[in-house]
Amino acid sequence: MAAASSLPKPLRSLLKRLLGRWVAVRHLEPDPTTLALNPQAITLYVLPRPALSDALLLECLCRRHDLPPATGRYRVAAQRLPAMLALPRPQRRHRRHALHDAIDLVAEHHDLEIQLIPVSIFWGRAPGKRFGMWRLLAADSWPLTGRLRRALSVLVNGRDVEVQFGAPLHLRDLLDDRGTALAERKAARLLRVHFRRVRTRVLGPDLSHRRTLIQGLVASPSVRQAMAEQADIEGRPQARLARRARRYGHEIASNMTYPVLRFLDGVLRRLWNRLYDGVDVRGLERVKVLAGDHTLVYVPCHRSHIDYLLLSYVLYRDGLMPPHIAAGRNLDMPLIGPLLRRGGAFFLRRSFRGNSLYAAVFTEYLHRLLAAGHPLEFFMEGGRSRSGRLLTPRPGMLAMTLRSFHRLAADDDRQRLAFVPVYIGYERILEGSSYQRELRGAGKRKESPLGLLRVLARLRQPFGRVAVNIGEPLLLAPFLDASVPAWRSGEATSRAPWISESLPRLGTELAQRINAAAALNPVNLVALVLLATPYHAIEESLMARQLALLAALQRRCPGGDHASLPEGEPTHWIDHVIGLGMIRRRRHPLGDILTATPEQAELLAWYRNNVLHLFASAGLVAFAFRHEAHHDLTSLQECLGPPWPILARELFLPGDSLHRTLPALLDALTRAELLNADAQGWRRADALEASEQLRLLGRLMQPSLERGYLLLSLLLEVPTGSHDRDGIIERSQQMAERLAMLSGRNAPEFFDRRLFARLIDSLEAEGWIVQREGRLYYATALPEAAQRTRALFDPALRHRLQLVTRD
């Protein structure tokens, strides 16, 4: 850092004061107090390249955060070590570097400790580009920068600076019997790898010009082959088809630009502050560990249009490169589409069927994004969930990602790709009323700029908090090695056996990991309790006790490995939900009562379904004690065994989770005094309050069990093979709608056609029914399993369901 040290002291002080007044560090990671520095060691700061602006800013930061000084020199024996140095360049190894002196001193003096702190400073967050005006202004693109560009960057990007401190590197740990020269090379290599990983994580890989990228797509072998095949079919010249392929490329490709990213960061920061009380992010450290050397594919649940913006904002804010986002072509509308495209969105049609050329262009574009290492984001559910449940993963984007990874791994078996499951949970969503209209049968409204204006008009309403929980990342190569080892030697065509075998497993595994990171909040907790009451009314004191019970169950026997609970107490949660206008409090001399109007109850069902899976096993166990007051472990496993695999598939839970957690769950219910343990097993508590709480807990699973009961009754009332798939789904939906009307439920999601379709799929997956020539045939084990499941229902409830199924 000769440039900084050679400046006259008055000039350096003046520049530091100017820099301190102008520069704003937007993101500093990690907190300097967590660096775990050795106070007895000499601390040397290492920058990736010599830059006066970086050196002066680092000096200011060290003084501001009470870190060891980054100025001056340490005198050790006859040597003087600079407190700040730049990473030695490989082409200048013949020159003696301060790092060499430091290692020599550590080798000579056994009581001397020297620690290196790598520091990365980014002036702006421009993705690397080799073109355009921002190459001049955004200094932290991949190429090194000159003094003029650095000065311009400080002026332009001084309010958008990010600083990343690395973990201390202790030089003594690098020394061994092979000498100091090897230790120096090892230290330089470790520092270079660290700086490269940090730059990749923050800036992403180099971006090509959009026009160049599209020309490359059209010239690729796969697209040229598709053009040749299309030319033979249509009898058109290939030049005309090449123009069509270029149009497809322009229709698809994103055009991520730094000015728009920076603009969106400012706009979205104001929007979230206006719209929400806060954004809670958990688990992002799991992504940062992988971001430097893995291609990341984010797979969030899809609940709202806000999902597109929220995840990119969170990643950008916390020092990660925003992903390229697969968006529906319906969002490529005037004003909105160009802005999304420059923010990283690329657009795809809802179906590729019948257009092989478009499919080839899109597949090649996706492959090039992944081959370059760009982070990617897509919603594997295909669309937003109108019921609040996680939808069945669709194979399209997952299959294209698998095929692209196979191509990359064939060239380099060290390729690393990780899926990052993300749960996004809202206390109140913008689209609530439109979802309810669509569940009642209304058509989906087409997105338009006018619809955006209608949304903006509601920004003054309270929307509470929003949670972004990162689940456990899935490393693709180890997953494929364990589930379908033949993938390495197989082909990557759409009909390859390993593709068709791995897709359902991959989709289910990712869905389970999303659900395992669900966020409980006051709204969905209150919805779980209130909707379990017959008339959507409950005493406030009982609500508080039941909320405390759900929180205790989640702490003692978590429904998800990375699930989260809200802060505060149940009484605060109730007040918060009332403040959001989701429920009402009715004052009464004998105790306040909480109620929900039919419209509120219908909307609360959406929030309940977000997290219902977290209490599926607890609800099922509680339901088992509704009819039978006493159970031992064997009888519980016998009666819960048949329905659990179906419920687990419906709610995307591991199939063995009930068996693994049942003893701990029974212990948690005993601690909560809802069950009493004795030598023979467990007995339902006699206390009135405990009995009521257990009943409310059991009613969480009652709608799912009733749907299964209706479907099985239809299947088994006639000889096997009498029903076709669509017919029994239609009939089951009608019976569920009839049951909802007779029982006073105002819940269109209860008779959602997709739930019965998923039930049929689950029965097929379990081998209880098979489909031949369009007819459904049930196995001999199904009547026995149905009989054991019916034993869960008390006679009164069983009688009511039989009345509904009667013609």
Please give the structure tokens belonging to residue 168.
């201390």
SS3 69: coil
CA distance 567 to 547: 13
Q: Residue 585's pLDDT band (boundaries 50, 70, 90)? A: very high
Answer yes or no: is pLDDT of 592 > 70.
yes
8 has a pLDDT exceeding 60: yes
Rounded mean pLDDT of the chain? 88
680 burial (CB, 10 Å; 0-12 / 13-18 / 19+) is exposed
Check whether 141 has a pLDDT greater than 50: no
Residue (of 361, 364, 383, 344) closest to 251 by Cα position: 361
Q: For residue 459, what pLDDT is reported?
A: 66
pLDDT at 139: 44
% of the chain residues with pLDDT over 90:
53
pLDDT for 748 beyond 80: no
Which residue from 444, 490, 785 is spatially nearest to 644, judged by alpha carbons?
Answer: 785
Alpha-helical runs (H) found in 520-590: 522-530, 540-556, 570-579
- Using DSSP's 3-state secondary structure scheme, residue 493 falls into coil
| Beta carbons within 8 Å of 801's beta carbon, 6+ residues apart | 706, 709, 710, 713, 739, 793
Cα–Cα distances (Å) from 303 to 127, 388, 657, in that order, read 29, 7, 26
Out of 90-94, 240-244, 292-296, 715-719, least confident range: 90-94
Lowest average pLDDT, out of 138-147, 382-391, 404-413, 703-712, goes to 138-147
Q: Which of 72-81, 108-117, 418-427, 556-565 has the lowest mean pLDDT?
A: 72-81
pLDDT the model gives residue 15? 84
Nearest Cα to 498, choosing from 404, 566, 402, 569? 402
Residue 144 clears pLDDT 50, i.e. is over it = no
Angle subtended at Cα 700 by Cα 696 and Cα 701, rounded to the nearest 5 degrees: 130
Q: Residue 573: pLDDT above 50?
A: yes
The pLDDT of residue 432: 81
pLDDT in tens, 185-227: 899 999 999 999 999 888 888 777 788 889 999 999 999 999 9
Please check the confidence at residue 64 and state whether its pLDDT lies above 50. yes
pLDDT of residue 806: 65
pLDDT tier, 94 (very low <50, low <70, confident <90, very high otherwise) = low
Question: Which segment of 59-68, 545-554, 742-751 scores lowest on mean pLDDT?
Answer: 742-751
Q: Give the pLDDT mean for 262-278.
A: 85
Domain coordinates in residue numbering, the chain: 2-203, 210-515, 522-698, 702-805
Looking at CATH, the fold of the domain delimited by 210-515 is given as: Glycerol-3-phosphate (1)-acyltransferase (3.40.1130)
Q: Do 1 and 84 contact (CB within 8 A), yes or no?
A: yes
CATH class given for the domain over 702-805: mainly alpha
Q: pLDDT at residue 380 above 90? A: yes
Question: 3-class SS at 163?
Answer: strand
Report the pLDDT value the prediction gives residue 672, as an integer from 0 to 100: 95
pLDDT (0 to 100) of residue 134: 46
pLDDT of residue 657: 87
pLDDT top residue among 595 and 713: 595
pLDDT (average), residues 328-357: 89
Name the pairing type of β-strands 775-778 and 769-772: antiparallel
Task: Identify which of 343, 509, 486, 532 has the alpha carbon closest to the alpha carbon of residue 418.
Answer: 509
What average pLDDT does this structure show over 758-767?
90
Antiparallel, parallel or unpaired: β 723-724 and 769-772? unpaired
Q: Which residue has the higher pLDDT, 472 or 782?
A: 472
User: Rounded mean pLDDT of 469-483?
Assistant: 95
Q: Hey, what amino acid is at 263?
A: F
Tell me the Cα Rg of the chain.
31
For the cut 90, the answer to whether the pLDDT of residue 266 exceeds it is no
CB atoms within 10 A of CB 551: 17
**H-only helix segments in 373-448:** 395-411, 432-439
Residue 147 has pLDDT above 70, yes or no: no
Q: Are strands 25-29 and 161-165 parallel, antiparallel or unpaired?
A: parallel
Strands (E) located in 655-762 = 675-678, 681-684, 723-724
Q: How confident is the model at residue 790, as a pLDDT?
A: 80
d(CA 245, CA 255): 18
Say how many C-beta atoms besides its own lie within 10 A of residue 518's C-beta.
Answer: 26
Across the strands, what pairs with 537? 595
Extract long-range pairs of 688-691: CB within 8 Å, 24+ residues apart: 689/542, 689/545
Range with lowest mean pLDDT among 108-117, 238-247, 435-444: 435-444
Give the pLDDT score at 17: 85
Question: Which pLDDT score, from 0 to 100, does residue 454 have?
Answer: 63
Summarised one tens digit per residue, pLDDT across range 355-364 is 999 999 999 9
Is the pLDDT assigned to residue 1 strictly greater than 80? no
Nearest partner of 390 among 377, 381, 382, judged by Cα: 381
pLDDT of 797 above 80: no
Span of 139-148, 265-274, 368-377 with lowest mean pLDDT: 139-148
CA distance 366 to 376: 9
Torsion 385-387-390-395 (CA) sign: negative
E-assigned strands of 570-686?
Answer: 584-586, 593-595, 630-631, 675-678, 681-684
For the cut 70, the answer to whether the pLDDT of residue 131 exceeds it is no
| Separation between Cα atoms, residue 63 and residue 54, nearest integer Å | 14
Look at residue 477 and tell me whether its pLDDT is greater than 80.
Answer: yes
